[in-house]
Chains A and B, each alone.
Chain A
Amino acid sequence: MHMADALLSPAVGGTFWAATVGAIAWCAKKVQQELNDRKVPLMGVLGAFVFAAQMINFTIPGTGSSGHIGGGMLLAILLGPQAAFLTIASVLVVQALFFADGGLLALGCNIFNLGFFPCFLAYPLLYKPLAGNGQNHRRIAAGAILAAVVGLQLGAVAVVAETVLSGISALPLQTFLWAMLPIHLAIGLVEGAVTATVVLFVRQARPEILDCAIGGQPPTARPIAKLLAGLAAAAVFTGGVLSWFASTFPDGLEWSIEQVRGKKELAAPAEGIHGMLAGFQEKIALLPDYAFTIGEQKAIGETVAHRAGPPAWPAVDAGTSVAGLVGGSLTLLLTLGLALLFRKRRAIA
């Protein structure tokens, strides 16, 4: 599943952007070092292949519905982790820009979820050791299936984590996990099975292709550890900077005001995700803003005092409410009017 811009908070989006940018830069350097210029068209065309592969549907046994493969694991096996990560990134860029799958801000999350786990965890830690030198068919199949399952499960957990941390959706963590994990288990099994069959098919048809496609050395533990450390640092840094920014921005301002006034708002959404999140955020103190700044209707400089007692919402004050409603409607009307105007102009032209 793709994360969407609309589900993200800037802090979460930015953090994953930073992590992804770091990973891409690292991969680009790696790929350029071993620059085998044959890989340039290979990566591009394999990226296009992923789309073509998604045109080929299969019936999922027992359900009657149909699906297609995602292709991440296949790319990792064909290209090696760094080149595969770049290819997955490019596939997701195209999806974000053209198919409205995800979005620009969510791109960081999506590349991370769908690229990082298969390429840098599942492939080197599961597929490689299991498949070995690629002579044994059973081991290839087992490796591909296990790696695909684990990669997708991690990706699904990441989606849940990102959504929950962003706090836009009210879906409770557990419910969300329960919905995502079993589905992705099934998807992973199918993905792995198809990946394994395709790899075996290619291996039988043209053994030399796989050998030369994998080409470069399998990643050793060290560079990955380095990459992980670098990413973690980047993420913590951006997360910190972003949340600082966020907390000095308007909503953050309100938040500090509320802090000064006491934490009564905090008590309100005690149940469900917000209680949990709030607690969680207090503990990690990284993304303090978004879970409990409520009330954008409270304009800057507004001085209307809060009424005490939950449920507290700043704009319960009727005057503010009406003004907000009137202003909102006017803006909306303006927007619609503008749209109609352009429409008419085009019709004339």
Chain B
Amino acid sequence: MSTIESAFIDLQRLDRLAACDSAVHRLDPRVKVLITLAFLVCVVSFDKYAIAGLLPFALFLTLVIGLSGIPSGFVLNRVLLAAPLALLIGLFNPVYDHQPLMRFGTLVIAGGWLSLLSLVLRFCLTVGAVLALIATTGFNAVCRALEQLGMPTVLAVQLLLLYRYLFVLVEEGLRLNRARVLRSFQGRGLGIRACSFLLGSLLLRTLDRSQRIHLAMRCRGFDGTIHTRNPLRLNGRDVLTLTIVLAALLAMRVFDGPMLLGRFVTGLMA
């Protein structure tokens, strides 16, 4: 429970971050969504042993996070919180994959270790990218962007309401749970039966609430669709940014930057 609770605190924090202002914040949400998707596809399209090739993407992400003024500690924290799963799965790689892939003198590195490192790296990049997207855009803007990119309206409206009532209902759930815990000594009373009744009454309240919300909406002329005031509009800057960044991502994916750099440097030294 504490993890979910802390997730909610982070959620409010993300909301606050999204309300800040920076060059990245000002970009059209659709542009940011597209860039994020391109970024993710590039990152996961590397093969399982890739490490150096991923580093330019880390550079890119750092740049974006820095430009947008999101505290890097916050991002790192979140990534670390989410990391155990990737580590758990990844830890099996060294166990099962002994293929020697790299040799420095007498030191031979097995493929499993490389792929573990690669997995952790791509994990940080993918989680970090999504975090950066939300923290510079905000949930509602991302939803609106997705809607304009073709997500069905029903789903968009759904997300809107879900997000709004998340706060109300989680608060309600917490209160119910607190009231139960207060009367549950030595953990008795926390069993499945009591929990089901608790969920049942929370559900009843939720259903009642949805009825009241529906009434309130209908009172104000709701007819099944939610109209919004300002449709998003792309400006030249957005298009330009999109083009440049997509090209950059593609280049980073196609050309092995670190290798070229390394060549260049070792070439200089040689």
- A contact set with B: CB distance below 8 Å: 1-2, 4-10, 13, 24-25, 28-29, 31-32, 35, 37-38, 40-49, 51-61, 66, 68-69, 74, 78, 86-87, 89-91, 93-94, 96-101, 103-105, 163, 167-172, 175, 190, 193-194, 197-198, 201-202, 205-206, 209, 213, 246, 249-251, 268-269, 272-274, 290, 293-297, 299-300, 311, 313, 315-316, 319-328, 330-332, 334-335, 338-339, 341-343, 345-346
A/B interface sample: 17 pairs, CB < 8 A: A29-B152, A35-B224, A44-B157, A44-B165, A48-B206, A56-B199, A57-B177, A58-B194, A59-B192, A97-B134, A98-B7, A98-B139, A105-B41, A201-B200, A202-B204, A213-B207, A296-B51
Whole-angstrom distance between the Cβ of B174 and the nearest chain A Cβ: 6
Bound form: Cα–Cα A96–B11 in Å: 12
**Distance of B11 from chain A, by nearest CB (Å):** 5
- Provide the residues of chain B in CB contact with A299, threshold 8 Å: 255-256, 259-260, 263
Taking the complex as formed, is B191 at the interface, i.e. its CB lies under 8 A from any CB of chain A? yes
| Chain B contacts with A in 185-210, Cβ cutoff 8 A | 187, 190-204, 206-207, 209-210
Min CB distance B101 to A, Å, is 5
Query: Quick check: B202 and A49 within 8 Å, CB to CB?
Result: yes
List 9 tightest A-B contacts by C-beta distance, closest first: A44-B161, A327-B262, A342-B66, A201-B200, A327-B258, A197-B196, A28-B152, A52-B173, A5-B126
Cα-based distance from A53 to B197 in the complex (angstroms): 11
The docked-state distance in angstroms from the alpha carbon of A51 to that of B8 is 10
User: Per DSSP, are chain B's interface residues mostly helix, strand or loop, or mixed?
Assistant: helix
How far is it, in angstroms, between the C-alpha of A294 and the C-alpha of B214 when the chains are bound? 56
**Is B119 positioned at the interface, with any CB of A under 8 Å from its CB?**
yes
Whether B169 and A296, one on each chain, are in contact in the complex, defined by CB atoms closer than 8 angstroms, is: no
Interface residues of B (CB under 8 A from A): 1, 4-5, 7, 10-11, 14, 36-37, 40-41, 43-53, 55-56, 58-59, 62-63, 65-67, 69, 71-72, 78-79, 81-82, 85-86, 89-90, 92-93, 95-97, 99-104, 111-112, 115, 119-120, 122-123, 126-127, 129-131, 133-134, 139, 142, 151-155, 157-166, 168-170, 172-174, 176-177, 187, 190-204, 206-207, 209-211, 213-214, 217-218, 222-224, 253-263, 265-266
In the bound complex, what is the Cα–Cα distance between A294 and B53 (angstroms)?
A: 13
**Nearest B residue to A169, CB-CB:** B89
